[in-house]
Amino acid sequence: MNLRKLREEVLDANLELVRRGLVLYTFGNASGIDRKNRVVVIKPSGVPYETMKAWHLVITDLEGNVLEGNLRPSSDLATHLVLYKAFPTIGGVAHTHSTAATSWAQARRPIPCFGTTHADYFRGSVPVTKPLTKTQIHSDYELNTGKSIVKSFAGLDPLHYPGVLVAGHAPFCWGVTPADAVHNAVVLEAIARMASETLRANPNARPIDAHLHRKHFLRKHGDSAYYGQREIK
């Protein structure tokens, strides 16, 4: 089983979180999945990004058993695994405590779609999970965090909503690759910041019209998308 490429992708995804200013110290983590071999590559827990190498990454099976690596995996591993199992189309997950998105998670409010930047990426508001119960917190906290995310996605295509705000915590994002998951985390941060600034300029700001939302989303997604270069993708 050759995981060298996935290791490199996951390492780069984690380092990109730093380059984009989404993480402070060791907060945040990114992972990737090899669906054929049913293994996940994830950042180790609490290791500084500055000195992180591909061989620090931890490889686990879908139950969280460590297959390769001498370090403990990210404490959020169980959340990542729930997402990979529930969302078969995703290939990477990124979790950050980025300032604006985390603030909306702390505010426990879905981010309304105030403009086309948002509509280009999310088919509707950015969802927010329900707070966990006392029991859910005390046993299998990270697993239950994942379950609460999945629950809030009933009926939604996770690639049409590539991220979520975990109430009182922070965002989790995903995509078809680890790089894509990080890309979506970067965009979510921008969307969240602009939503806050929009409310500052107009406390009564309203979401954009459903037709404009749909138009922009479909300009970038699906069969009739016409943004970007097919030939160079």
What positions carry a catalytic annotation? 120, 227
Interaction between residue 87 and its own copies (CB under 8 A):
no
**Whether the Cβ atoms of residue 90 and residue 105 lie closer than 8 Å to each other:** no
Report which residue type is found at 143: L
Nearer to its own copies, 87 or 141 (CB): 141
CA distances from 11 to 50, 95, 184, 200 (A): 11, 14, 17, 37
Minimum separation from the CB atom of position 48 to its own copies (A): 10
Among 18, 67, 71, 86, binds its own copies (CB under 8 A): 71
**Whether the Cβ atoms of residue 33 and residue 77 lie closer than 8 Å to each other:** no
Minimum separation from the CB atom of position 86 to its own copies (A): 22
Among 132, 164, 179, 182, binds its own copies (CB under 8 A): 132
Does the CA dihedral 132-82-70-15 come out positive or negative? Answer: negative
Among 201, 222, 223, 224, binds its own copies (CB under 8 A): 201
Minimum separation from the CB atom of position 35 to its own copies (A): 26
Distance in angstroms (rounded) separating the CA atoms of residues 214 and 24 = 35
Among 134, 154, 222, 224, binds its own copies (CB under 8 A): 134
Nearer to its own copies, 4 or 211 (CB): 211
Q: How many residues are present in the chain?
A: 233
**Please, which residues bridge with residue 59 across strands?**
41, 68
* x/- map, 20-59, its own copies, by CB under 8 A: ----xxxx----------------xxxx------------
Does the CA dihedral 98-101-106-107 come out positive or negative? Answer: positive
Which residues are CB-contacts of 69 (< 8 A; sequence separation ≥ 6)? 44, 55, 56, 57, 58, 59
* x/- map, 160-199, its own copies, by CB under 8 A: --------xxx------------x--xx--x--xxxxxxx
SS3 58: strand
Q: Which residues bind its own copies (CB under 8 A)?
A: 24-27, 44-47, 70-72, 75, 97, 99-100, 102-109, 114-117, 131-132, 134, 137-138, 141, 168-170, 183, 186-187, 190, 193-202, 205-206, 208-209, 211-212, 215, 219, 226-232
